[in-house]
Amino acid sequence: MTHSPTDNRVPAMPSPAFTDRLLRAAMTVAALVASAALWWPWPAEAAPRIKEVAMVQGVRANQLMGYGLVIGLDGTGDQTTQAPFTSQSLNSMLQQMGITVPAGTTMQLKNVAAVLVTAQLPAFAQPGQQIDVSVASIGNAKSLRGGSLVTTPLKGADGQIYAMAQGGLIVGGAGASAGGAKVQINHLSGGRIPQGATVERAVPTPLAQGETIQLDLSSADFATARAVAQAINAAKGAGTAQALDGRVVKVKAPQNIDERVSFLADVENLPLELAMPAAKVVLNPRTGSIVLNQAVAISPCAVAHGSLSVTISSTPVISQPGPFSSGTTQVAEKADIAISQQGGSIITLPGTAQLADVVKALNSLGATPQDLLAILQAMKSAGALNADIEVI
């Protein structure tokens, strides 16, 4: 067997020209990365803008409402004996079409349901534009799934017709029943018709009237009103905006409508430097929801929490009569009631001004959201919760 001799040659070094080209390429890539870092919109915590805390007075949506009929239901419509207005509405519609129903006729309708139709007419909406509508049953219809809304006029608060609605409903639910059993997913007595109404009349807006416009803040806060006025004056000149109170800011605007629109577009996008809001805790006892803002703080306190549970169990007991007796078998129930209470240890909550620490301290109690409702209210009464409590 022969062995090849070991290659002890030294690898050739790259030439100076190759090294220079490699260095130039690396420098080019580094320059591209650096330039990309300058213009690439890296995500950052965006400051709130004026359009997110205020709105122009008069530029708002208007509520519309109408009464109509949904037809084409698969036997899930109103029972006319219990909802007579459905048959009355159908008779009125048929009379407009030249069809007269004989007097005294009792119509057993199953595929028709009386509904209320609501919609929001956006600001600056013009005739011919389409808007979404919501449809909800006002009778005893079991389901509106598969139905179609008959042409329904939508009126405003002044009684004038501003839109006409019509179309097939989209119901986000399903259900079935048989043999006394029923299964239902989501809500079946309401639905929506996307682009289901056509605007017939525009609502005039006072945008081009007067020398000034008024900005209404979403919530009353003097610091926010001052920040809005300062931001506008810094961008459009001193004296352009003036905060009248904690909710209203008066702004001088150009008279020309084109310049006024451009002026409002610039104003709405001005960033704001807002102060920390007032500490608030919002409670919803119906759902057990609790929301705390970042300004909530707690003072040192001790909390004891325990739970009390009541268990009721029912057992059927059969009483059998003796043989050759005239008695009958009877079924009775035996109820057992038990009460158990879990001991709650006292937990010390340190004082903190950080929202994360507040949440961590409340979670250490091991309480459910319903229990936290009572705990937070008790902490507020004891002066340990430095926040306002709002129950919705």
For 294-305, the pLDDT digits (tens) are 788 878 877 776
Q: Which of 239, 361, 264, 245 is nearest to 49 (CA)?
A: 264
DSSP secondary structure of 316-372: EEEEPPPTT-S---EEEEEEEEEEEEE---EEEE--B--HHHHHHHHHTTT--HHHH
> Rounded to an integer, what distance in angstroms lies between the CA atom of residue 291 and that of residue 364?
17
**243-246, long-range: CB within 8 Å, 24+ apart, which pairs?**
245/220, 246/217, 246/220, 246/221, 246/222
> pLDDT of 203-261, one tens digit each?
888 887 888 899 999 888 898 999 999 999 999 989 899 999 989 999 999 988 889 99
> Rounded to an integer, what distance in angstroms lies between the CA atom of residue 213 and that of residue 211?
7
Q: Which of 262, 261, 229, 271 is nearest to 246 (CA)?
A: 229
Residue 189 pLDDT level (bands cut at 50, 70, 90)? confident
Mapped onto helix, strand or coil, the DSSP state of residue 277 is coil
Distances (CA, A) of 183 to 77, 112, 180, 190, 279: 18, 22, 10, 17, 44
> Rounded to an integer, what distance in angstroms lies between the CA atom of residue 380 and that of residue 388?
8
Indicate if the pLDDT at residue 23 is higher than 90: no
What is the pLDDT at residue 188? Answer: 83
Least confident range of 16-20, 154-158, 191-195, 250-254: 16-20
The percent helix, strand, coil of the chain (3-state, each to 5) is 25, 35, 40
Length of the chain measured in residues = 392
Q: What is the mean pLDDT of residues 53-73?
A: 91
Place of tokens 């004989």: 102
Alpha carbon 123 to chain centroid, angstroms: 21
> pLDDT of 142-182, one tens digit each?
889 889 999 999 999 999 999 999 999 998 866 665 555 66
**Of the segments 83-87, 190-194, 201-205, 334-338, which one has the largest average pLDDT value?**
190-194
Place of tokens 């020309």: 256
Mapped onto helix, strand or coil, the DSSP state of residue 152 is strand
